Amino acid sequence: MEPRFLTLEDVQRVLNVSSPQAYALVRSGALPAIQVGGRGQWRIEAVELEKYIERQYEATRAKYPSGA
């Protein structure tokens, strides 16, 4: 069974981005997340990450309709 929530580190690996880039996606609201625990650890639902990826595909298709 896949975990429901991912860490920022998981997001970094999936998207192949740096730690600051993953954090910026969450802080900007582009990637919905929640804070849990006393230290405010960020958690991202796996389904929200997949929705984000699909939105990025759609934005890219809109910007480059010919697939360039």
pLDDT at 28: 97
Domain count, the chain: 1
Global pTM reads: 0.88
Domain span at residue 41 reads: 5-63
Q: How many CA atoms lie within 13 A of 28 on its CB side?
A: 9
Q: Give the end-to-end CA distance of the chain in Å, rounded to a whole number.
A: 37
For the chain (68 residues), the mean pLDDT of every run of 10, in chain order, is 94 98 97 93 98 97 82
Tell me, yes or no, whether 68 lies in a domain: no
Tell me, yes or no, whether 58 lies in a domain: yes
Tell me, yes or no, whether 51 lies in a domain: yes
Tell me, yes or no, whether 18 lies in a domain: yes
Tell me, yes or no, whether 40 lies in a domain: yes
